[in-house]
Copies of this chain bind each other. A is one copy, B any other.
């Protein structure tokens, strides 16, 4: 699906690549639609779980929490580049109510960032005039890491996550 798109891929193609029969794949996923939804849904659940855990484990400090969120978001998108590509390119192919379910989960992930940025502004730690746009800018630049990251690149995944966390603090105007 990543190579040819949802409409250019059959369940038979997926089964072949997975080294199993179409019948065996249908046993787990009754349709191509369920397969696509499951990939996106599990991915979002994992991202949200890890983000919430990282946020909860961080000190009661918006700067620390924002950095924790950024690191999780960036690292997960480097670890799951193909899934991220599919999530962005094939949301169109998802039928309702699956589509709304995924959009609601994305919204929940976005709100984690909003909330932390808003909290930092209220405590006077972040001085951005545009917290909503800054939060969205942070999430989208972190998601986009999946589009350019190469394991063979000059920086490690951890180092990229570290730099993005620092850039995110600049974006919200940390004092």
Contact = CB atoms under 8 A, between A and B. Distances in A.
Number of copies of this protein chain within its complex? 2
B137 A147 contact: no
Interface in A132-175: 133-134, 136-138, 140-141, 143-145, 147-148, 160, 163-164, 166-167, 170-173
A55 to B, nearest CB: 21
Interface of A is mostly: helix
Nearest to A3: B92
Contacts of A136: 141, 148
A100 interface: no
A163 B135 CA distance: 12
A79 B88 CA distance: 19
A133 B164 contact: yes
A141 B163 CA distance: 16
Contacts of A29: none
In this complex, the member of A2, A89, A143, A170 whose beta carbon has the largest number of chain B beta carbons within 10 angstroms is A170
12 contacts: A3-B92, A5-B8, A88-B88, A88-B89, A128-B170, A133-B164, A134-B170, A136-B148, A137-B141, A137-B164, A140-B140, A170-B172
Interface of A: 2-8, 88-89, 92, 128-130, 133-134, 136-138, 140-141, 143-145, 147-148, 160, 163-164, 166-167, 170-173
Given A89-B89, A130-B166, A140-B147, 5 more contacts: A5-B6, A6-B8, A7-B7, A136-B148, A170-B170
